[in-house]
Amino acid sequence: MSADANDGLSRRGFLAISAATLGGVMLAPGIRLIEIAGARAPEQSVSRQVRWGLLIDTNKCAPGCDDCVKACATENGLKDTGHPRTDAQWIRKVELKDMRTGRANSVPVMCQHCEHPPCVDVCPTGASFKRADGIVLVDRHICIGCRYCIMACPYKARSIVFEAITDQNPDVPRGNGCAEGCTLCVHRIDRDQQPACVEACTKAGHNAMFFGDLNDPHSEIAQRVAKYASTQIRADFKLNPGVRYQGL
Partner 1 sequence: MKTNGTGAFTGRIARAICLLALLLPVLVFASERVPKPVINIDRQGKCVEDSATMRREHPDMLKHQRDLTMHEGIRTRKHSLKECVECHASAKTGSVLGAKGFCQSCHDYASVRIDCFNCHASKPKLASGVKP
| Nearest to 110, CA basis, from 207, 22, 182, 26 | 182
CA–CA separation, 198 vs 69, rounded Å?
10
Q: What is the CA radius of gyration of the chain?
A: 21
**44 near partner 1 (CB under 8 A):** yes
Question: Taking CB under 8 A as the rule, does residue 45 contact partner 1?
Answer: yes
Of residues 129 and 237, the one with the C-beta less far from partner 1: 129
Q: How far is CA 149 from CA 44, 69, 132, 141, 172, in A?
A: 29, 22, 20, 16, 20
Q: Which stretch binds partner 1 (CB under 8 A): 39-47, 94-102, 109-117, 214-222?
A: 39-47
Q: Pick from 66, 87, 115, 171: which binds partner 1 (CB under 8 A)?
A: 171
Asked if 49 is part of the footprint of partner 1 (rule: CB under 8 A), the reply reads no
From the CB of 176, what's the least distance to partner 1, in Å? 7
Residue 35 within binding range of partner 1, rule CB under 8 A: no
CA distance 207 to 205: 6
CA distance 53 to 114: 10
Asked if 33 and 117 touch (Cβ cutoff 8 Å), the reply is: no
Subset of 173-232 contacting partner 1 (CB under 8 A): 173-176, 178, 186-187, 190-191
Q: For the residues of 4-35, what is the DSSP string, one character each?
A: HHHHHHHHHHHHHHHHHHHHT-EEETTEESSP
With beta carbons less than 8 A apart as the criterion, state whether 196 and 71 touch: yes
38 lines the binding site for partner 1 (CB under 8 A): no
Instruction: In angstroms, give the least distance from the CB of 225 to partner 1.
Output: 24
The only residue of 21, 169, 207, 231 in contact with partner 1, by rule CB under 8 A: 169
Kindly give the residue spans of alpha helices, DSSP state H, lying in 24-147. 67-76, 118-122
Residues of this chain, 94-153, that bind partner 1 according to CB under 8 A: 129, 131-133, 137, 139-141
Closer to partner 1 at the Cβ: 19 or 132?
Answer: 132
- In the complex, what is the shortest distance from the CB of residue 179 to partner 1, in angstroms, rounded to a whole number? 13
72-to-67, 200, 205, 212, 213 alpha-carbon distances in Å: 9, 9, 17, 18, 20
Minimum CB–partner distance for residue 87 and partner 1 (Å): 17
Size of residue set near partner 1 by CB under 8 A: 30
170 binds partner 1 (CB under 8 A): yes
What is the contact surface with partner 1 in residues (CB under 8 A)? Answer: 40, 42-46, 129, 131-133, 137, 139-141, 164-165, 167-171, 173-176, 178, 186-187, 190-191
